[in-house]
Structures are given as structure tokens and as C-alpha cells.
Structure 1
Amino acid sequence: MCELATPAETAKYLRTTVGKLANDRYLGVGPRYMKYGRSVLYPWDALRAFIDENTADSL
């Protein structure tokens, strides 16, 4: 079973704000998410993948 994070948990994990996450969803960028009714939820594995995909390689 996949664990899901709320926008508040996701914002804390990514060190950003809930508003930034909402704006990213509107723009179609940011981590993958799902909607369940009116709730927005983020799979933890999608958050880890988002971090891996957006980590810059050092020179």
C-alpha cells in the first residue's frame, strides 16, 4: 500500500509552503499528486522521485 502525504506534510518535507505547492499544481510542475474528492494527496514515493529528478550534479 502506498503512503500518502497531505500538502502540509509535503511542504514541510520539501521545505516550501502549501501555497507554492498549489501554484506548482496550477502550473503543472512540481511533484506528482492525486485528488481524492476535494483532497490533494502526494505519494511519498513520488516525492522521493521528485527530489532525485531535481537534484543537481556537482561539478
Structure 2
Amino acid sequence: MRLHYLLFAFLLVFLLPAPGFAQRIRNPVSCLRNKGFCHPIRCPSVAKTIGSCAPGLKCCRK
């Protein structure tokens, strides 16, 4: 049971966005929290790249 708490604490710290988002976005959860969306290869022309969701996926925002 203690392992569940440790895993939850690790995930909570890992998925929390950095204060002020000074660093680039590196996971899908942070991308969605920044009102972005994940897109393969590169962002559409109307969107700006603000980070990456995973290898091969870009985080884009209009």
C-alpha cells in the first residue's frame, strides 16, 4: 500500500508544470494545461510550437 503513495507522489511531482513555464513543455499534460494540442511532425501554419508532447509529437498553440 505504501508503494501506491510513493508512485502517486512521484507522478504528481513529475506532471506538475514548472512555475511560470520557464522551461519548454515536455509532456502531453503540460501541453493541454497551456491550452495547446499535440500534433505529429510539425504544427500547422496557424499555430506556434511551444514544446513537445513526446518524440515525434509537437505541442502547438494558436
TM-score scaled by structure 2? Answer: 0.28
For the pair shown, the structure with the greater C-alpha radius of gyration is 2
User: Structure 1 or 2: larger strand share?
Assistant: 2
TM-score scaled by structure 1? Answer: 0.29
User: Structure 1 or 2: larger helix share?
Assistant: 1
